[in-house]
Amino acid sequence: MDGLKPRIADAMHRQSQPTVTVLSTLLAVQDELGFIPKQGIEEVAAFTSSTINEVWAVASFYPNFRFEPPCLHQVEVCWGASCHLVGAMPLIEAALQASGLETEGDTSDGRLTLRYNTCLGACSQAPVMAIDHHLIGRATPESAKARIAELLAEQNG
Amino acid sequence: MADDITISIDGVEIITQPGKMILEAAIEAGVYIPYLCYHPGMKPFAACRMCVVGVEGGRGYPAACVQPVADGMKIRNEVPDVLELRRSVMEMLIAEHPDGCLTCHRVEICGPNDVCLRHVSVNDRCVTCPKNERCELKDTVRYLGMNLESPLDYKYRQIPLEVADPFYDRDYNLCIVCGRCVRACEELRGDDAICFTERSGSALVGTSFGTSLLESGCEFCGACIDVCPVGALVERDHKWEKAARVERTICPHCPVGCQLNLEINSAGRFIRAVPDLNSPANRGQACFKGKFGLEYVNSSDRLRKPLIRRNGVLEEATWEDALDLVSTRFSEYTGDTFALLTSPQSTNEEHYLGQKFARVVMNTNNVDQTSNVQPELVEALENALGYAAATNPIWDLENSGCILVFNSNVTEEHNVVGVPIKRAAKRDTKLVVIDSREVELTRYADVWLRPAPGTELLLLGGVLRSLIDQGLENPEWLEENCESPSTVHYALHNLDMDQIVQITQVSLDDIAEAARLYGQAESASVVYALDNVSVDLRQDCVRALIDLVLVTGNLGKPGSGIYPMRQGANEQGAWDVGCVPGRLPGYQPVGDENARQMFEEAWGITLPSNPGLGLAAAIRGAAEGRIKAMMVIGDSANFSNGKLGDGLSALRELNFLVVHDTFLSPVAEIADVVLPRVTFAEKEGTFTNLERRVQRLTASIQVKNNDSRPESWVICELARRMGASGFDHHSPSQVMDEIARLSPIYAGVSYKRLEEESRLVLRTNLESPQPTQVLHSSREYRGIQWPCQEPGAPGTETLYVEGFQERKADPATPEFRAAEPADDSEYPFLLVPGRVLLQNHRDMEIIEGKRNRIQRQEWVELNASDAAAWSIGEGDEVEVLTQRGDLTGQARLVDSVPPGVVAVTSLFGQLAVDLQDSKDPDPASNVPGLDIRPAKVVKAGSNGSS
């Protein structure tokens, strides 16, 4: 885990916004590593002059923080109101089917993390999904299946 | 008062003050508004919504705990709409708590001995909850008159029980997430060992990454258990037992003098201790010792009958035979061949009788107390200022702008004194810690000065010098209050700061910063002990600390105290009533003829005028054959931990040794006569805590099937048999009256006053649901802080407020120097042990099992120059060998450890595990201290000759 320390420190110190908080620092760490390791909680506590349990209380409050290394690819399907109205549910079902998951989560081969998102901020393109933070507008169950199948079949990421 | 306002609750008028919340005003007035997350002493949280009320002219239903009172406010409490709203709130709360125990229709008719008739599934039964019959939630449900059926489905959380950590059993299936425990840990204790986890439906209490309490920084003080309204957090010992009655007494483990409410079951056995909410010394707090270290009272290993050694074997005897034998033998040793040692857990009255027995019956001043291993701790204080005691109340530390802690492991040895320090440090009080060891407070310190062992005195000189160089002294105050102000400066002239930096291994910047923080603070306090300070430097260390106090004028005002951290629970009282060799009751010197004359008249005898031998000298005297007979009351770790040399061997040399103890302790095993002694919980009397507060002990439990007696009885019986008069007291109260007559500082202390001056502070209606601590704490007993010079006079909270009346402060000049380095070629290093609650940066593993254990690689920190000299590399496995045990770890080369030192800092969690597993009947009294000792370091696997 020692290799993570410089990356964590770098991410924490790189924050350029005027107000640095526990939350912003946690986000910086997660942006860097894709997750927050135990060491990350400790480093954030030291950086923000708070305690590990204070940081944990914040980190565990938000479901968007994850504490295990992420899978190779992140697939997010929006189920906000706009997307919901134009077919988010069939999209979700297709995504689940294609990835072999029963609900949002990680595939067992570690290739793909599927998450529901409450708004990806692109209602005009609804329904939307995002793969590795790249938006895909007017997604269809078929296109979702195809893209996920591609991700799962890829060789060596 | 002028700013009083009037509010009304359901038409009942209440006088209160602005700034209070409705709930506070109601609790003070004895009007019940139900609440579950509020707890007196903590900030309101408004999470449970149980205290919603109606306010006439207001909108909605505000929570009473966060709604400030206003003049003329009309509050609606027990009215149908409010009660209905509370019932719906409760329905939601109990959707996540087993509700069978709360709403079972047999609750009214089911008695404690009835077998549950299975109206309710097993998980939900009231009888399967440890808090049954003492559950605040259940009481509140009953109060609200809930329907027996809830429209909401109960969701069992299915969380495994947490029962592998020391002392605590936790069942988060019963948690109602009121947050009292989290707030107690953070707000009251300053610890943050637990936190809220997740949110909304899955929100709960836990730790970061769900780790064991052993690695989350828990100090096992039990504060979370004390405030938990449900069965989620309970003490493991006597978990299922119910209190039949509650008795308030004083904790016997340290001189903080925590008032504890002992819960006693129907069989008359002690089951739990709950710290008292209104106690001025501990304010509702206790520590791992007070909370979990009193079980020895119930031990089946206790001595039951007197024992007399016959043909080398201790055999049971009657009190008659034992006392006859002891009195006959003692008559052979009157004079200075006898010494009496009382226990730190003896009461003031017993200490008084003990010293009177030694002086009147045995005609010697050889009397002391077994925890008094460092009389130097207060001698210089008494000489310089007048009183051998802390100047300010414990909780006044919270008012300090800066607190300097010198060589004192406060958080372990005087835990509750650590609470105001930690709380203050978390706000804006500056904390300076001077200690070679890494202790819990060093984590909170703004500046931690870590001198090479033996150079503490020199370092204090450096701090003083730096303070004066920075112009931070208060010459006017010094001039006005000090006998010879220039004395202080005199010794500082010769100090060479460069040399100090070089010898102490503390940087000039750190010294200057510590001096600046202390000197610039509006008010500053000093908390000190003399742990690991060599005998010849102790007086001067205390003198230097007093100088620090005097040059800055930090005396006689709030937040500016000097606190000697004594060891024994009632060591202060022992000194006060003359149970020390050189002083008669009330600190009147034995050498002073007038003082002696007064006592000679009162006691009707002639007193010896030589000062007598103290503890250390008496033990030496025993070894050398000058002391031939001794009576020792209570066991003391000091006989075997090296603080008195080889104490046990010395005692073996005696012709006649009588030990009065609760257990067959190592010292009892070598005695000629052993007398069984009652514990603190079985006797009446008073203790005086370190802030000079005289407080009463209550005989809370009866001694059953056991002939144990208190030492007051034994001493009086012996005196009577030896033909002495003046030992015919009927009660401790009478003894206190005698103390008050003879000792001016106690003149106003009497049992009558201690009782009468208590007052009702929480007008709790016992019919309504209340937190346990509130139920136990409706009355406040403040005790009396001496000096209390006249019968009706109030005690003295803070000393020297009026300046120095009779004599000015008279500081002595310390000679700033370092200890002579011990030239020990076999053990060339000093092992400096440390212990902290938390070390984030260290990898560790918890071995889970029936009991969790910590497994980790200890770090042996040493200076790079030493490492090079001994061919030790970073990460090498090394062994540290000492004459008192060895340890192994991984070498770490660091700059912060001075040459010649190896530092090993362990985790408090390990100590908690060890205490839990200990076979010692009274482990809390024998917690190993952090003693620096000679050591050698070898690479693991080598034969130790390198």
Residue among B394, B398, B437, B396 nearest B417 (CA):
B394
Q: Do both A56 and A78 map to the same domain?
A: no
Q: Do both A87 and A142 map to the same domain?
A: yes
Token pair, residue A56, equals: 């944990």
Residue among B201, B290, B216 nearest B253 (CA):
B290
CB atoms within 10 A of CB B67: 21
Q: Do both A80 and A135 map to the same domain?
A: yes
Query: So what's the pLDDT on residue B944?
Result: 47
Contact state of A54 with B195 under an 8 Å Cβ cutoff: yes
Helix (H, G, I), strand (E, B) or coil at B670: coil
Please name the residues between 332 and 351 in chain B that touch chain A, using a CB distance below 8 Å: none
Residue B609 lies in a domain: yes
Domain boundary among A29, A61, A93: A61
Count residue pairs from A and B with Cβ separation < 8 A: 44
What torsion do the CA atoms of B80, B81, B83, B85 make, to the nearest 10 degrees? 160
Question: A12: domain range?
Answer: 4-61
Residue A93 lies in a domain: yes
CATH code, B405: 3.40.228.10
Q: Do both A54 and A116 map to the same domain?
A: no
Q: Do both B81 and B108 map to the same domain?
A: yes
Domain boundary among A61, A81, A107: A61
β-strand B693-697 against B685-688: which pairing, if any?
A: antiparallel
Query: So what's the pLDDT on residue B942?
Result: 65
CA-to-CA distance for B814 and B490, rounded, in angstroms? 10
- Contact residues on chain B for A54, CB-CB shorter than 8 A: 186, 192, 195
Domain boundary among B245, B277, B298: B298
CA distances from B8 to B55, B77, B467 (A): 10, 10, 56
Q: Do both B322 and B405 map to the same domain?
A: no
Q: Do both A51 and A19 map to the same domain?
A: yes
Q: Do both A80 and A52 map to the same domain?
A: no
Query: So what's the pLDDT on residue B178?
Result: 94
Token pair, residue B46, equals: 């408004």
Residue B44 lies in a domain: yes
Show Cβ contacts of residue B151 under 8 Å, excluding neighbours closer than 6 positions. Answer: B91
Q: Do both B714 and B850 map to the same domain?
A: no
Number of compact structural domains in chain B: 5
Contact state of B208 with A67 under an 8 Å Cβ cutoff: no
Question: B16: domain range?
Answer: 5-144
CA-to-CA distance for B405 and A59, rounded, in angstroms? 35
Are B320 and B717 contacting, i.e. CB atoms less than 8 angstroms apart? no
Residue B515 lies in a domain: yes
Q: Do both A57 and A91 map to the same domain?
A: no
Query: String of b and e for B779-794 (b: at least 16 CB within 10 Å)?
Result: ebbbbbbbbbeeeeee
Show Cβ contacts of residue B59 under 8 Å, excluding neighbours closer than 6 positions. Answer: none
- Dihedral of alpha carbons B447, B453, B457, B458, sign: negative
Q: Do both A42 and A100 map to the same domain?
A: no
Domain boundary among B501, B530, B564: B564
- Contact residues on chain A for B209, CB-CB shorter than 8 A: 38, 41, 56, 67
CATH code, A145: 3.40.30.10
Residue of B nearest to A51 (CA): B192
Residue A18 lies in a domain: yes
Residue B281 lies in a domain: yes
Q: Do both B749 and B883 map to the same domain?
A: no
Quick check: B192 contacting A, CB < 8 Å?
yes
Contact state of A56 with B197 under an 8 Å Cβ cutoff: yes
CA-to-CA distance for A134 and A122, rounded, in angstroms? 12
Residue A68 lies in a domain: no
Query: What does each of the 157 residues of chain A score in pLDDT, given as a tens digit?
Result: 567 899 999 999 999 999 999 999 999 999 999 999 999 999 999 999 999 999 999 999 998 899 999 899 999 999 999 999 999 999 999 999 999 999 989 998 889 999 999 899 899 998 999 999 899 999 999 999 999 999 988 765 4
Q: Do both B339 and B458 map to the same domain?
A: no
Residue A16 lies in a domain: yes
Q: Do both A100 and A80 map to the same domain?
A: yes
CATH code, B336: 3.40.50.740
CA-to-CA distance for B10 and A138, rounded, in angstroms? 62
Residue B849 lies in a domain: yes
Query: Distance (Å) from the C-alpha of residue A96 to the closest C-alpha of chain B?
Result: 24
Q: Do both B293 and B365 map to the same domain?
A: no
Q: Do both A56 and A116 map to the same domain?
A: no
Domain boundary among B508, B537, B564: B564
Query: So what's the pLDDT on residue B112?
Result: 64
Residue A67 lies in a domain: no
Residue A14 lies in a domain: yes
Q: Do both B541 and B474 map to the same domain?
A: yes
Q: Do both B365 and B446 map to the same domain?
A: no
Number of compact structural domains in chain A: 2
Q: Do both B852 and B755 map to the same domain?
A: no
- Contact residues on chain B for A51, CB-CB shorter than 8 A: 192, 217
CATH code, B216: 2.20.25.90
Residue A66 lies in a domain: no
Residue B840 lies in a domain: yes
Q: Do both B599 and B725 map to the same domain?
A: yes
Residue B808 lies in a domain: no
Query: Distance (Å) from the C-alpha of residue B51 to the closest C-alpha of chain A?
Result: 26
Query: Distance (Å) from the C-alpha of residue A29 to the closest C-alpha of chain B?
Result: 17
Residue B251 lies in a domain: yes
Helix (H, G, I), strand (E, B) or coil at B196: strand
**pLDDT mean for each 10 residues of chain B (946 residues):** 87 94 92 94 92 93 95 95 94 85 75 68 79 88 79 82 93 93 95 91 90 92 95 93 93 96 94 94 95 94 95 95 96 95 96 96 95 93 93 96 96 95 94 96 95 94 94 90 80 88 95 97 96 92 94 94 95 96 94 93 92 94 96 91 90 96 94 96 96 95 91 96 92 95 94 88 77 88 93 92 84 86 84 90 82 89 91 92 90 90 92 90 88 90 54
Quick check: B216 contacting A, CB < 8 Å?
yes
